[in-house]
């Protein structure tokens, strides 16, 4: 899909939403990573394995402090633990909403945001209702994202589009609806589907996100070469469990055995 094709479909989607009484919502925060930022600042150091233990989350937080990552990304039931472990640090606590399938009701997602925020979460990665996007229902995507963005207030909301399950036109329409609803960052994948981030999708999302909003690459990012390719394609964030190994590779030496690596990311 050419850039002109992307922009044409963006305009069509925005017109559909505006005509349906769904106005564009501005994002007033900071979603981009400065061009001169260290590599670690791009990373959301991630552990979303269902069997992960409290000790593994403590290790994740210790590593995030050591590496200087932007955040840890953890399930809602581990937010309080990680917020305690990271108190006084610059590392954000990110959690997932409607994860990993996206077909929770919007009211359930809002409740997840409210509960996670009360436990210390400061960023939220939400999954869209993927089947509704495949129906062509961009209004449903807008309404779902808008509800979560409103619940999150001034905090960052990243919208997971699960690109492996959408064709290019659906990706553009869903991403445009998410931006129109006030999301801060477009994210490729949960890491739990049939494929993850691609350079092509990241370039597409960079066009849609524009100059002020962000793009997150997630799913299958396990080495420095691909991480840098994602950043070169426009990613402001990298979601990965192999953070330590990637940063060690960048520093020119072998990384530690990464206790967070496994299924999903």
Catalytic site residue 232?
A: no
- Of the residues 132, 187, 201, 258, only one is catalytic, namely 187
Catalytic site residue 167?
A: no
- Of the residues 44, 125, 143, 236, only one is catalytic, namely 125
SS3 content of the chain, % helix, strand, coil (to 5): 45, 15, 40
Question: Distances from the Cα of 208 to the Cαs of 8, 137, 152, in angstroms?
Answer: 11, 19, 22
Catalytic site residue 158?
A: no
For helices 224-232 and 243-251, give the axis angle rounded to 10 degrees: 90
- Of the residues 109, 132, 158, 216, only one is catalytic, namely 216
Nearest-angstrom CA–CA distance, 42 and 68: 10
For residue 236, give the nearest of 216, 254, 250 by alpha carbon: 216
Helix, strand or coil, per DSSP, at residue 220: coil
Q: Which residues belong to the active site?
A: 125, 187, 216
């Amino acid at each position: 899909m050419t850039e002109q094709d992307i922009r044409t479909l963006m305009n069509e989607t925005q017109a559909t939403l505006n005509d349906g009484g769904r106005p564009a919502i501005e994002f007033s925060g900071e979603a981009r990573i400065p061009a001169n930022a260290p590599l670690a600042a791009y990373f959301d150091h991630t552990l979303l394995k269902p069997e992960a233990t409290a000790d593994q989350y403590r290790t994740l937080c210790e590593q995030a402090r050591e590496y200087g990552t932007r955040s840890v990304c953890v399930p809602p039931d581990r937010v309080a633990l990680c917020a305690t472990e990271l108190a006084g640090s610059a590392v954000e606590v990110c959690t997932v909403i409607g994860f990993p399938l996206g077909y929770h009701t919007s009211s359930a997602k809002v409740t997840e945001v409210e509960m996670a925020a009360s436990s210390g979460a400061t960023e939220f990665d939400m999954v869209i209702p993927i089947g509704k996007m495949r129906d062509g229902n961009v209004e449903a995507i807008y309404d779902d994202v808008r509800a979560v963005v409103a619940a999150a207030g001034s905090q960052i909301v990243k919208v997971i589009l699960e690109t492996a399950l959408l064709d290019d036109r659906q990706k553009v329409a869903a991403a445009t609806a998410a931006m129109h609803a006030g999301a801060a960052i477009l994210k490729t994948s949960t890491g739990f589907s049939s494929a993850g981030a691609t350079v092509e999708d990241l370039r597409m999302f960079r066009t849609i996100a524009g100059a002020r909003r962000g793009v997150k690459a997630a799913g299958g990012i396990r080495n420095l070469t691909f991480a840098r390719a994602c950043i070169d394609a426009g990613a402001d964030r990298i979601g990965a469990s192999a953070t330590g190994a990637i940063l060690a590779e960048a520093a020119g030496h072998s990384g530690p055995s990464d206790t967070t690596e496994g299924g999903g990311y």
